[in-house]
Structure 1
Amino acid sequence: MKTFLNRRNAVLSGGPSHLVAVSHAAHPTAAEPAERVADETPHDSLDAEVANAARAVPTLRAVPVVPSQFNGRPVQIADGTMFEALAAGNSLDTFRVFRSFDFTVSLFFHAPSLSYYVALHQDGMLWRALKANDVDAAGAAFHHLEEQATRLTDGETRRAQLIAQNEQLQRQVEESEALAERLRANLQRHAEQEHRVTGRQHQVRKEVAQLEAQRVAAQAQLNKAHRAIHQLSMTTSEGVPHMTGR
């Protein structure tokens, strides 16, 4: 029994690989008579139990550890220091860039190792870096970080929209107030002009009435003068003898 357990522990302690059973436990064959089992002594029964347990141990096979999965494709966390060294040494080709306010998501290709890097920067500082060995997995990681950056900047987006809307509303308020002021000024000028026109018309009517009165008085005076002249003419004519023609 100890030998069996030691062998089993030695196999299990061989490393981080997963152990998977690939064979089934052996079972007693039908050919073994039941009387043989009944006639076994306790010591023989213990030896048989150990033997059966040894036969029941499955064959162990190492299974490679699957790397971190991202959307069904292998993606792993990249070494930030190594990634920044590659970036500083201009060893990365930029395939794709997404920017949203202070966040930047970039997809890089490292030709010597045929590897892809997806990095998320915030205000120029590296926040997260992922590494993939195929472009599809790198693209999926890029879209994931792009969505994450978009969610992180939802508040900034709303803030920028509200600032723009408030500025637009403020401009509209100022334009409306300026238009209202112009309309008030126009109405005031119109009222003042109307008042001046009304006053002028009143003055003209007054002057017209005065002139009309003067005209009537002058006409009466003229008529009186004409009558006086006519009377004087008649009086003068009476002193002249009437001369008849031959």
Structure 2
Amino acid sequence: MKTFLNRRHVALAGTPSHLVAVAQPPQPAAAEPAVEPAAEEEPPDEAAESARPVPTLRAVAVVPSQVNGRPVRIADGNEFAALAAGNELTTFRVFRSFDYAVSLQFHAKELTYYVALHQDSVLWRALKAADLDAAGAVFRHLEEQATRLADGEARRAQLLAQNEQLVKQIEESEALAERLRNDLQRHASQEHLVTARQHQVRKEVAQLEAQRIAAQAQLNKAHRMIHQLSVATNEGVPHLPGR
């Protein structure tokens, strides 16, 4: 057991590393010493473990951050801005949602792909990939992130439109209510005028009817007087016999 522990060691230096077990060829068996009667027998498990080959641990370089197994790293923002300003990038894909934009661009001279996330036309994040598949995976990831970030903007735009529509409907409803109120007031005012007019007309009709009755009575009286006078006048005319 002590022999096994003594053989395990790791020589690591520099960057972080993974430990990989490498099998060593079995060592030649040493000559067995003479067995002394007083020596204790080694337990079977420890004896088997001592006979098993001991692997040697070696350092392995750490792989940089990857997407789907392909290397992707953070890009230098100034370098990306310079390439974009110099028209050295070819745009493959663009996704835009409100103030957020994701672009996948290709640098032909270096055979390198850049995926950038902008917020309000200002560079927020840029990543660099060596092949199109890795860059596409990064683009989809940032597209999902931009979509989530823009959800609040989308809800804000919807609520603004709904509130504007509600305000417009309120204004239209209030205008309609005002027109109906004016109509009711005009109707009530006109009804009052009509009622007053009808009362005045009935009063005048009653007066005219009374005047008519009085005039008719006066006319009847005049007719009776004329008749009486006519009779009285005719009484003075001699009666002439007929031939």
TM over 0.5: yes
CA contact (8 A) 1:109 1:116 kept: yes
The whole-number CA distance in structure 1 between the counterparts of 2:24 and 2:241 is: 181
The whole-number CA distance in structure 1 between the counterparts of 2:181 and 2:221 is: 59
- Give structure 1 stretches of 5+ with no counterpart: 40-51
Question: What code does the residue aligned with 2:175 have?
Answer: A
Residue 221 of structure 1 corresponds to 218
TM-score by length of 2: 0.77
Among 67, 71, 77, the alignment partner of 1:80 is: 77
CA contact (8 A) 1:25 1:57 kept: no
Residue 158 of structure 1 corresponds to 155
Question: What code does the residue aligned with 2:20 have?
Answer: V
Range with greater deviation from structure 2 (133-142 or 228-237) = 133-142
Range with greater deviation from structure 2 (225-234 or 110-119) = 110-119
The whole-number CA distance in structure 2 between the counterparts of 1:17 and 1:106 is: 34
Range with greater deviation from structure 2 (114-123 or 185-194) = 114-123
Q: CA RMSD in A?
A: 3.2
What is the 5 A alignment of 1:1-246? Answer: 9=11, 12-13=12-13, 18=18, 20-23=20-23, 26=26, 35-36=32-33, 38=35, 56-58=54-56, 65-246=62-243
- Give structure 2 stretches of 5+ with no counterpart: 1-6, 37-49
The 1:241/1:69 distance shift into structure 2, 3 A limit, reads same
Question: What code does the residue aligned with 1:99 have?
Answer: R
Q: CA deviation at 1:17?
A: 6.3
The whole-number CA distance in structure 1 between the counterparts of 2:87 and 2:78 is: 14
The whole-number CA distance in structure 2 between the counterparts of 1:114 and 1:243 is: 156
Q: How high is the sequence identity, in percent, across the aligned residues?
A: 72
SS at match of 1:164: helix
Question: What code does the residue aligned with 1:147 have?
Answer: E
More helix by share: 1
SS at match of 2:213: helix
Aligned residues: 223
Q: CA deviation at 1:153?
A: 3.1
